[in-house]
Structure 1
Amino acid sequence: MTEPVDYRDTVFLPKTDFPMKAGLPQKEPVILARWQEQRLYEELRNRRRGREKFILHDGPPYANGDMHIGHALNHILKDTVVRTQTLLGKDAPYVPGWDCHGLPIEWKVEEQYRKKKLNKDDVDPVEFRAECRAYAQHWVDTQREQLKRLGINGDWDNPYLTMDFQAEATIVSELLKFAESGQLYRGAKPVMWSPVEKTALAEAEVEYEDIVSTQIDVAFEIVESPIPELVGAHAVIWTTTPWTIPVNQALAYGPDVEYRLTQISGLAGHPHPEHTGKSVLVAVELIAQLEQRWACSLQPLIGHVSRTFKGSDLAGTIVRHPMNHLGGFFAKPRPMLAGDFVTTDSGTGLVHMSPDHGEDDFDLCKANGIDPVFAVEGDGKYRADWLWLGGEGSVINPKFNAPDGPICTALREAGGLLAASADYKHSYPHSWRSKAKVIYRCTPQWFVPMDKQLPSRLREGPGEGESDSALAATHPPSAAFGSVRGAELPHSVPASGVGTTLRDTATEAIAATRFIPEKGRNRLSSMVEGRPDWVLSRQRAWGVPITLFVDRKSGQYLNDPAVNARIVAGVRESGVDAWSEDRAQEYLGSDYALADYERVTDILDVWFDSGCTHVFTLESGRWPDLQWPADLYLEGSDQHRGWFQSSLLQSCGTRGRAPYNAVLTHGFTMDQKGMKMSKSLGNTINPLDLMRDSGADILRLWALTVDFTEDHRIGKEILQGVSDQYRKLRNTFRYLLGALEGFSDAEKVAVSDMPELERYILNQLFHLDCNIRTAIGQFDFNGYVRDLTNFCNEDLSRYFFDVRKDCLYCDDPADLKRRSYRTVLDTLFHALVRYASPVLVFTSEEAWQSRFPDEESVHLQELPLASYGLHDPEISQFFQFYNLARQDILEAIEPLRREKIVGSSLEAVVSYSGAALAQELNHIEPLNAELLAELAMVERVDFNNDAITPGLIVVTKTTNHKCGRCWRHLPEVTEDGALCGRCEDVVNG
């Protein structure tokens, strides 16, 4: 036997400098710097100018704090939308923006004051707002760099900020459009109020937490009634907000509820035996609950037959407040009123009414001529002149409401407290900024009515290319004043011009909008359907002012186009500081005297600010690549009650339609166990740390592999799985780069000259291309990444690459099969790197530059109009049998490998009874044993067409010798280590 020869130098192994180890944390910043130097975003705009547009309008994150995992997910999704649309050849600009006004920033600046023991109210408002502006700018700059590190491609040098003077002027202009068209009024209604932050809050600024409150039962003596036996008895109410009792003005009953007059007994040893014998009026259905809560027995009155009353029988009944001895407000009679909202789910079946502190209370009392009294101040204390507890509070303090607190103590001493216990568990609204409890508080606020009829011309919306100023010109005001006292139509809207309401317009706009996922439609619809009038005003300093003058005599706001134009110009020149007392007469001009007008000092709800962003970005002309309306809004599902809704209402009120054509929502990121992330639990994932340790591409791949439309998870084990997936994709690129080393156009082969396997893989690529394009259209990035990954792993790494490695390594470079293989690899490289570019933005660039170091960025490339692949249904049918047979053969070989009967599949000889199976699969052509052996990577396949059992496989070990170069076992090899004919020709060639 001759000495074996080492033929390794004659084998054409892949060669590439593209490393298996990614080193993303080190490489990504270098690539990012190169993009910035090349001004990649601007170049993309130049390349795509004139193409079909796709506009994603960025919902502004708040300029307060570092980027968190929610920010990262949100912006990765937005970037993927923009990049995939760009990949299709569209002009898809991306202008990032920030929400810069509002309480969170103001609160942080106040915290700095408090640490220095300074009072914000002692600081000049202009100076204070300058500090807020500087604080916001700091976090804009910080977040901008953090988001850029994610690989987000956008107009970072020219973002939109709601605190830019131009933006502030636009917000003022949009507010005045509501005023000019009569869609604004000032009224006193109960709104969510934060005593800690001393301002009204929107529903989107409120979160609900479980708390334990004091529950009390209070007796109101009946002094008049059409039912004689009720006089002298007590109507009992139940509440979990004891602090509202000092502002009580009426009681409510359910018209259809059944009530009974009973007598309290069995209080021996009870803390309040003085109530024994007291007659009380309560709902029949709740008597058992009350006996348990009061630890007593409720019996028929002595000497009376037990009698029940229908609620409607109580009409005309009058009670007096338990604290009536204080006189004044408390001595006034309290009527009992019919309320449809009264139920017997809990309590006593009677409800105490405080129009200052409840929506139902306000509406019922208003309908009966009872007005709010504004007893509770903005800080949660009763006003100083209030007869009971004047100057005391805060009303959200549990100790103030406790059973031994001042309210319960006074009621107990007055004989009106039947029961009190601090044990009622329930959900309660809190400010999501200060985390403090909020209250309903009636204060004068500015509202946009939801159910007032709009001018019909607003429903038409802006025409093609119509600018903001052109839109304003389509509905100029024709009257000097608009209403501030209700939702009646102003004089400026003629009766013939009346259209639908803001609620109806918004509902129609929702119906015309595409939602991904579809359930977002019902969520937003239900919120719009049930929402009250939009509260626009806030009582703070850092925000866009409500730039209105109110006539001191008529109570109407001034609605003069010339005045409005001067105000807008002033804000455009100087920002929100322009709305000052010093410049008030300048705005009013010579036609009006400042002494006759009140200058409104409230600021706008920041949701109105962000709701206007579509105007000063898409319509302003500052970003000429943008256009209105946006094709897509994309935010978390919480924005159904936030930005999606405020933008919808603002646009419907001024343009008659939504500012978007589609809305995509994502869920929230939970920890690995599905729990909400919390710093206190220590289960948060910091995206900045993750990028530092693993790279942004890992974070991007995670964001696009989860089902982001639902709540989803992240954690160490999940990220490890993502890293494994990344390595497989990276290794696909690495193999392609190595296998294509030295490839040129001269080597290419026409598809018609290629072997079946190459044409089959091109057909598979065609289907992948179709799936990719469909996924882009459906914003299905989970499916996008899944199809891409499966193709790389299943069709390529475990099949095509594996089968063709012998051809690549050992065939002559001029051989048609090898040239065909490399031609397909070239097609695969161009396709796969493009497909991956919206996902693995850095890795795809690294792979592209590794092969084409002198060419432009991969992110300037696009998909061709036609697929990269080959649409050939016949080749799919042809390979249906072969792929099934291949899998059967590989499974049959595996036991022999485990038992070490064969080492490699190349040692296997297979007898396969495949004729019947081929017939079942309608495989008409004669079976090709040589092709199947090549696909299964065995020495040979012998078809046993006479076998009864289709698919029966018998595997034996070959007796042929192994080629010393290609390692195949062939009859022509005379001894182990000798060369087969092919290898001998290549080596000696």
Structure 2
Amino acid sequence: MDYKSTLNLPRTEFPMKANLADKEPQILKRWGNLYEKIRELRKGREIFLLHDGPPYANGHIHIGHALNKILKDIINKYNLLTGKDIIYVPGWDCHGLPIERQVEKELKERKIRKEDLPKGEFRKLCRDYANRFVDIQREEFIRLGVIGDWKTPYLTMDPKYEAQEVRELGRFYEKGLAYRSKKPVYWCIYDMTAEAEAEVEYQEKEDPSVYVKFPVTGMKDTYLVIWTTTPWTLPANLGVMVGEDYTYVYFRTTVGTFIVAQELLESFREVTGLDGEVFKKVKGSELVGVSYEHPFVQRSELKDHLSEETLKNMWKVYPSEFVELGTGTGLVHMAPGHGQEDYTVGIRYGLEPYSPLDDSGRFVSPAPDFLLGVRVFDANALIVNLLKEKGYLLHHSKVKHSYPHCWRCKNPVIFRATHQWFIGMEARLNSSTLREVALTEIERVRWIPDYGKNRIKSMVENRPDWCISRQRYWGVPIAVFYCKQCGEVASEKEVFEHVANLIEENEFGADVWFEKDERELLPEGYRCKRCGSAEFKKEEDILDVWFDSGCSHASVIRPLGFDRADMYLEGSDQHRGWFQASLLESVGSYGHAPYKAVLTHGFTVDEKGRKMSKSLGNVVSPQEIIDKYGADILRLWVASEDYSEDVKLGSSILKNLIDDYRKIRNTLRFLLANLYDFDPNRDRVEPNKLHHFDRWMLSYLQGILKEVHRHYSNYVFHRVYHLIRNFCTTTLSSLYLDVLKDRLYVYSPNSWERRSAQTVLYELLIALSTSIAPFLSFTAEEVWEYIRGINPHLEESVFLSEIPKPDEALIDGKLEAEYSKLLKVRDEVLSALEKARKENLIRHPYEAKVYIQTKGELLDLLEKYKDYINFLFTVSQVELDKGGDIVVAGEEVENLTLGVSHAVGKKCPRCWIYYREEEFDGEVCQRCCNALKEMGYVCT
């Protein structure tokens, strides 16, 4: 008889080779309306709302985009698989400089200047460009397996969105939170626009380091000494700042007397090489009011350009809380038009923010003639040379330091005073300031990881007022009007609402602002509330793109009927970007944060921890991985990494992930292959009637499920991944499934022994397929299709099912404790068998007879399970006594001695286990004979 044909060997069409790159697009087609089905079938359930931070519609997606979107998808899908409804509306940031620059680049290739086009035509090119990449990125995100409302995403250039943004600006103006002022802001001289704090990044830059002497008025050969790394700001110098409580010295040398801070005198002497003596010490407060002369600017040159108050107060010493004694001289050159702290002190003492520069950073009148038309960074050398010629330069060297750069063009930015629109951090919201309310709300939000709270908190505590105006074309207008007669701003709610309605009704939204004149944009018959004039001029600046995206809660979340999202999730750089902009906009408009929780992730780096860049040749594109391995491998990478730190990716990491994927897939395949004849509605064995090994596994599985839910709920996905991987490779493949093969293959198909095992295999299959679904989405869906072949009553998609919740009734603590001890003995047995194999006593574990010598509780336990422990240890025979040709002592279990001999009797040709002659019925063992009879065979 061909005994192999009588065994219940695994059977399944579920392929061992995943072939994900080909299979996944087929699954995506089946998912075409899945989001809509979820919303319909989960109607009335608890809703989880993760609000999508909008990426720029600019270029193909990169690996950072994939990390971000997959993390969001894992969270959404886990919430789905706990029975909730989800709302996920993807969005795109469609305005701003990145798109403008790309369009300008395309125009340049066609030899067309932006300035030669009407604004409306240029804006159309920007809109077309954004639409093109929205479509491209949408398909790329869908290919990742991300479920969401891809048919109607939100776009910041949508007329409804732009209209709401104008209404939000109106709310800020109405509450007195928005104002216009001339003050220094970050300014990119290459893009020629103001920038917010979130739009600058710090990089190393080499600058001059100069010590300059300012002659004290009325004191011969006596000088205030300042130190600066920005000589180009000296033409705008209006004062010198000191710390009132610091001690300053008069240091007499052969070339003059120099006033510096006592604490910095030694470093000053060392740097300049000057020698001399201190003949006088004063407090900083005693220097306040001292006048000095500018080294190369004459007062007469500024007479027609500065206010009388500034002319009266300039070139004096002023007290400042911002002076520090870390470097320099303790006297700080003050240019209120080129520094936030300088501006703060200057305004306090009647000094205006003076900045003789144009938008491209070139000096204009009334700057000294030798600087006119010169760009700021080029001016450094000219100013240093002039100071040297005039004898005002005490020392000149170079210094490398951290300096702000434009995050878009990567060039250094400057601080420059211009007229801009701001949101005031100290403006009042009822009894508190905007800053205070924002800080209170930060405390109410759950920050994941928790260090995010301190990060954003310190930023909000220290940030200056938010500059919201930009000098560009492609964006939402700052919808205000200035009275031509008296300068009053038209700020009534009806004005903002009227403009918002015009934008909402226009096919191209905010283009209406640039196409129509003031009369057409203002409510009919509107007149200035101060002077009654009907003549107005509209603002030409547009809103900061951070205000654009910061309004998304008002344009997306609130129309859905919610006042805040359950979660915002972006990279850790968004503490100073979108998280903060959204917080301030929502607090200003509605008094609270727009989110209940904020999760941040690190950046993608290569395996050596280096930033990915084309120059290093270490860029890994998501498309490349998908085309070669499939999106599930990319998703597995996201789940496997600790996203709270920078996330590494490279070829060896991918290789390990592919190995892990195969192990998980093969475990699922084994489960499917042994359930081909199992009907859970007919063949299931009740939990209390299961074989004790199966009851143990079912109890153990509840603990796994408990950990799965705990880790998902705490957003530590890499722990879910490690838990499932280890469960599949160690607990299942190397133990439970390995031991189970005998019962699955040898007993008759309908036997209790086999049905008991299959009952638990089915539970494992459901638990594993749903538990991996948030990250191995395509594989889980593929598996689910085969599970539905076993149980057609299941939901049509794994994402319409639920991850089983741990069932306390199935937990058997006593049984788990007993098996814990048995499995420790099993490990000792396996070590002894390996020794026997190396000494050629046996070739296969079934050839072994194991002797176990122990005492006490362990002996009682082994006696209790004596009829099964040979199967648990995968040997033919076990005797609870001393003996064996090879004898070893237990390494981990005390009072345990193991012996191994070759099994006695002969090998059953069907099950391969050795039995004594009297235990055979014909050619096969009695156990196999019984199984054959049940199957209709005759034992021979």
Is 2:905 the counterpart of 1:968?
no
Deviation per CA, 1:275-322, whole angstroms, max 9, x where unpaired? xx233222233333233322x33213xxxx732332222122111011
Which of these residues, 19, 25, 29, is aligned with residue 23 of structure 1? 19
Alpha-carbon shift at residue 51 of structure 1 (Å):
0.5
Structure 1: which 5+ runs fail to align?
225-229, 266-276, 455-497
Corresponding letter in the other structure for 1:128: F
Alpha-carbon shift at residue 589 of structure 1 (Å):
2.1
Is 2:764 the counterpart of 1:828?
yes
Structure 1 residues 259-408: aligned runs within 5 Å: 259-265=248-254, 277-294=255-272, 296-300=273-277, 306-324=279-297, 327-329=300-302, 334-389=315-370, 391-395=372-376, 397=377, 399-401=378-380, 405-408=381-384
Is the contact between residue 89 and residue 150 of structure 2 (CA under 8 Å) also seen in structure 1? yes
Q: Which residue matches 1:580? A: 514
Q: Secondary structure at the match of 1:620?
A: helix
Alpha-carbon shift at residue 595 of structure 1 (Å):
5.4
Alpha-carbon shift at residue 393 of structure 1 (Å):
2.4
Alpha-carbon shift at residue 588 of structure 1 (Å):
3.8
Q: Which residue matches 1:268? A: none
Is the contact between residue 764 and residue 869 of structure 1 (CA under 8 Å) also seen in structure 2? no
Which of these residues, 396, 402, 408, is aligned with residue 427 of structure 1? 402
Deviation per CA, 1:494-536, whole angstroms, max 9, x where unpaired? xxxx322111111111111111111111111111111111111
Q: Secondary structure at the match of 2:682?
A: helix
Moved more, 588-597 or 696-705: 588-597
Q: Which residue matches 1:694? A: 629
Q: Which residue matches 1:661? A: 596
Q: Secondary structure at the match of 1:320?
A: coil
Which of these residues, 876, 896, 908, is aligned with residue 939 of structure 1? 876
Corresponding letter in the other structure for 2:687: V
Corresponding letter in the other structure for 1:814: N
CA 752–217 in structure 1, closer or farther in 2 if over 3 Å, else same: same
Which of these residues, 608, 620, 633, is aligned with residue 547 of structure 2? 608
Corresponding letter in the other structure for 1:602: D
Is 2:389 the counterpart of 1:413?
yes
Q: How many pairs does the alignment contain?
A: 906
Structure 1 residues 627-666: aligned runs within 5 Å: 627-666=562-601
CA 902–838 in structure 1, closer or farther in 2 if over 3 Å, else same: same
Corresponding letter in the other structure for 1:568: A
Q: Which residue matches 1:670? A: 605
Structure 1 residues 800-815: aligned runs within 5 Å: 800-815=736-751
Q: Secondary structure at the match of 2:867?
A: helix
Q: Secondary structure at the match of 1:336?
A: strand
Corresponding letter in the other structure for 1:540: R
Q: Which residue matches 1:563? A: 495
Corresponding letter in the other structure for 1:518: D
Which of these residues, 425, 442, 449, is aligned with residue 417 of structure 2? 442
Is the contact between residue 95 and residue 157 of structure 2 (CA under 8 Å) also seen in structure 1? yes
Distance 1:81 1:612 in 2: 23
Is the contact between residue 405 and residue 412 of structure 2 (CA under 8 Å) also seen in structure 1? yes
Q: Secondary structure at the match of 2:516?
A: helix
Moved more, 144-153 or 444-453: 444-453
Which of these residues, 788, 802, 815, is aligned with residue 862 of structure 1? 802
What TM-score do the two structures reach when normalised by structure 2? 0.93
Q: Which residue matches 1:740? A: 675
Which of these residues, 428, 435, 453, is aligned with residue 428 of structure 2? 453
Alpha-carbon shift at residue 327 of structure 1 (Å):
3.8
Corresponding letter in the other structure for 1:298: D
Q: Secondary structure at the match of 2:85?
A: coil
Moved more, 56-65 or 964-973: 964-973
Distance 2:201 2:348 in 1: 31
Distance 2:116 2:784 in 1: 60
Distance 2:862 2:841 in 1: 34
Q: Which residue matches 1:873? A: 813
Moved more, 433-442 or 851-860: 851-860
% identical equivalent positions:
42
Structure 1 residues 156-195: aligned runs within 5 Å: 156-195=150-189
Corresponding letter in the other structure for 1:893: L
Distance 1:45 1:890 in 2: 52
Q: Secondary structure at the match of 1:541?
A: coil
Is 2:47 the counterpart of 1:72?
no
Alpha-carbon shift at residue 632 of structure 1 (Å):
0.8
Distance 1:977 1:341 in 2: 99
Corresponding letter in the other structure for 1:18: F
Is 2:711 the counterpart of 1:771?
no
Q: Secondary structure at the match of 1:550?
A: strand
Is the contact between residue 567 and residue 595 of structure 2 (CA under 8 Å) also seen in structure 1? yes
Which of these residues, 200, 213, 216, is aligned with residue 210 of structure 2? 216
Q: Which residue matches 1:482? A: none
Corresponding letter in the other structure for 1:604: L
Q: Which residue matches 2:836? A: 896
What TM-score do the two structures reach when normalised by structure 1? 0.88
Q: Secondary structure at the match of 1:9?
A: helix
Distance 1:717 1:976 in 2: 55
Is the contact between residue 765 and residue 870 of structure 1 (CA under 8 Å) also seen in structure 2? no
Q: Secondary structure at the match of 2:217?
A: strand
Distance 2:745 2:754 in 1: 9
Distance 2:296 2:593 in 1: 52
Distance 1:122 1:264 in 2: 61
Distance 1:64 1:828 in 2: 44
Alpha-carbon shift at residue 56 of structure 1 (Å):
0.5
Is the contact between residue 587 and residue 593 of structure 2 (CA under 8 Å) also seen in structure 1? yes
Distance 1:797 1:971 in 2: 30
Distance 1:823 1:378 in 2: 75
Deviation per CA, 1:526-575, whole angstroms, max 9, x where unpaired? 11111111111111111111101233555442222332221110111221
Q: Secondary structure at the match of 2:250?
A: strand
Distance 1:721 1:237 in 2: 59
Distance 1:916 1:116 in 2: 91
Is the contact between residue 24 and residue 630 of structure 2 (CA under 8 Å) also seen in structure 1? yes
Is the contact between residue 930 and residue 940 of structure 1 (CA under 8 Å) also seen in structure 2? no
Distance 1:208 1:918 in 2: 65
Q: Which residue matches 1:950? A: 895
Is the contact between residue 221 and residue 234 of structure 1 (CA under 8 Å) also seen in structure 2? yes
Distance 1:410 1:82 in 2: 64
Alpha-carbon shift at residue 924 of structure 1 (Å):
7.0
Q: Which residue matches 2:449? A: 517
Q: Which residue matches 1:143? A: 137
Is the contact between residue 55 and residue 627 of structure 1 (CA under 8 Å) also seen in structure 2? no
Is the contact between residue 450 and residue 532 of structure 1 (CA under 8 Å) also seen in structure 2? yes
Is 2:694 the counterpart of 1:754?
no
Distance 2:815 2:805 in 1: 23
Alpha-carbon shift at residue 756 of structure 1 (Å):
0.2
Q: CA RMSD in A?
A: 2.3
Deviation per CA, 1:924-943, whole angstroms, max 9, x where unpaired? 79532222222111122222
Q: Which residue matches 1:535? A: 467
Q: Secondary structure at the match of 1:954?
A: strand
Q: Which residue matches 2:308? A: none
Is 2:861 the counterpart of 1:927?
no
CA 529–792 in structure 1, closer or farther in 2 if over 3 Å, else same: same
Alpha-carbon shift at residue 160 of structure 1 (Å):
0.4
Q: Which residue matches 2:121? A: 127
Is the contact between residue 60 and residue 98 of structure 1 (CA under 8 Å) also seen in structure 2? yes
Is the contact between residue 191 and residue 443 of structure 1 (CA under 8 Å) also seen in structure 2? yes
Distance 2:411 2:677 in 1: 68
Deviation per CA, 1:13-36, whole angstroms, max 9, x where unpaired? 101111111111111112112222
Distance 2:731 2:604 in 1: 32
CA 115–293 in structure 1, closer or farther in 2 if over 3 Å, else same: farther
Alpha-carbon shift at residue 113 of structure 1 (Å):
2.7
Is 2:927 the counterpart of 1:982?
yes
Q: Which residue matches 2:307? A: none
